[in-house]
């Protein structure tokens, strides 16, 4: 059995401008809004399958195309090329610590726009891998009620400081922590236990700052783990999902849908 995949069927695309940036945004569905930020290399078939799953569960989904070619399948060469481009882009500031990334302004504007056109109390934002921490940065805006950080990998964890960095600036984290303490904001983080790209130290920092408002799902990917996840297991909500009850990534995807429903309905 392989991970779910889908194509661009039924998705409508239009450019959206916010925070001084313009990107195409793919939209589909009805119900409360969820901004689904793709992982590198872009809006690949696994990301589209996740988007379709959210649509099937009653959400309006907006996927901004921040890199890559929408609909293109993942390959090693394609992924490496997009990582190289993203790492030098000022919009993402992939190496910087304590950094307010320019793309965050775009994502907050997109969240506000989606919130204005959908029912519910606010919107969810799911970030993955390179974009995992961007979901938390978006939650500086009051329109975001349910940020989900799946294997957040920026800043790239090459040094102890980078591994501990929460992926947002201190000023942004203070706003999010205040919202958690005083407005009932909750966030969710997902990672595989052996994933060095989404380091445990980053989750520890977030847990220390957000407390019980930060729900963590950590899936065992250590040697001899029950479900056979490899030591390179990384993409919790896409590549590692097998649609079988009890499979941890599948159960994590279920919990994300429950979290979004609880927070947005």
Q: Could you report the per-residue pLDDT of 51-94, keeping only the tens digit for each?
A: 999 999 999 999 999 999 999 999 999 999 999 999 999 999 99
Q: What is the pLDDT of residues 188-210, one digit of tens each?
A: 999 999 999 999 999 999 999 99
> Do residues 118 and 31 touch, judged by C-beta distance below 8 A?
yes
Q: How far apart are CA 65 and CA 83, in angstroms?
A: 14
Q: Return phi, psi of residue 244, to 5°.
A: -135, 125
| Residue at token pair 């030098």 | 88
Q: What is the pLDDT of residues 163-179, one digit of tens each?
A: 999 999 999 999 999 99
Closest CA to 189 of 141, 115, 116, 129: 129
Pick the CATH number of 12-264 from 3.20.20.70, 3.90.105.20, 2.30.30.90, 3.40.50.1820: 3.40.50.1820
Mean pLDDT of the chain: 97
Instruction: Write down the pLDDT at residue 123.
Output: 98
Report residue 16 as tokens: 């959206």
Order of all β-strands in the sheet with 214-219: 12-18, 21-29, 60-64, 33-36, 123-128, 144-150, 187-192, 214-219
Q: How far apart are CA 87 and CA 144, in angstroms?
A: 26
Task: Specify the pTM.
Answer: 0.97
DSSP letter, residue 130: G
pLDDT band at 265 (very low <50, low <70, confident <90, very high): confident
Instruction: Write down the pLDDT at residue 1.
Output: 87
């Amino acid at each position: 059995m392989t991970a779910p995949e889908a194509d661009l069927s039924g998705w409508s695309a239009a450019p959206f401008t916010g925070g001084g940036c313009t990107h195409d945004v793919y939209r589909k569905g009805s119900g409360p809004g969820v901004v689904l930020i793709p992982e590198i290399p872009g809006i690949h078939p696994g990301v589209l399958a996740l988007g379709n799953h959210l649509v099937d569960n009653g959400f309006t989904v907006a996927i901004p195309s921040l890199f890559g070619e929408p609909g293109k399948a993942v390959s090693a060469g394609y992924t490496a090329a997009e990582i190289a481009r993203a790492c030098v882009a000022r919009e993402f500031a992939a190496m910087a610590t304590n950094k307010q990334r320019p793309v965050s302004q775009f994502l907050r504007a997109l969240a506000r726009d989606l919130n204005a056109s959908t029912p519910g109390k606010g919107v969810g934002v799911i970030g993955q891998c390179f974009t995992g921490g961007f979901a938390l940065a978006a939650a500086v805006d009051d329109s975001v009620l349910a940020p989900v950080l799946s294997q957040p990998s920026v800043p790239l964890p090459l040094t102890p400081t980078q591994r501990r960095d929460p992926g947002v600036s201190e000023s942004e984290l203070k706003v999010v922590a205040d919202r958690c303490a005083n407005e009932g904001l909750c966030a969710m983080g997902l990672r595989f236990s052996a994933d060095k790209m989404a380091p445990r130290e980053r989750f520890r920092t977030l847990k220390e700052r957000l407390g019980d408002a930060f729900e963590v799902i950590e899936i065992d990917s250590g040697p001899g783990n029950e479900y056979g996840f490899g030591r390179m297991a990384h993409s919790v909500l896409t590549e590692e999902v097998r649609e079988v009850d009890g499979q941890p990534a599948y159960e994590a995807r279920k919990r994300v849908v429950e979290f979004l429903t609880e927070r947005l309905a």
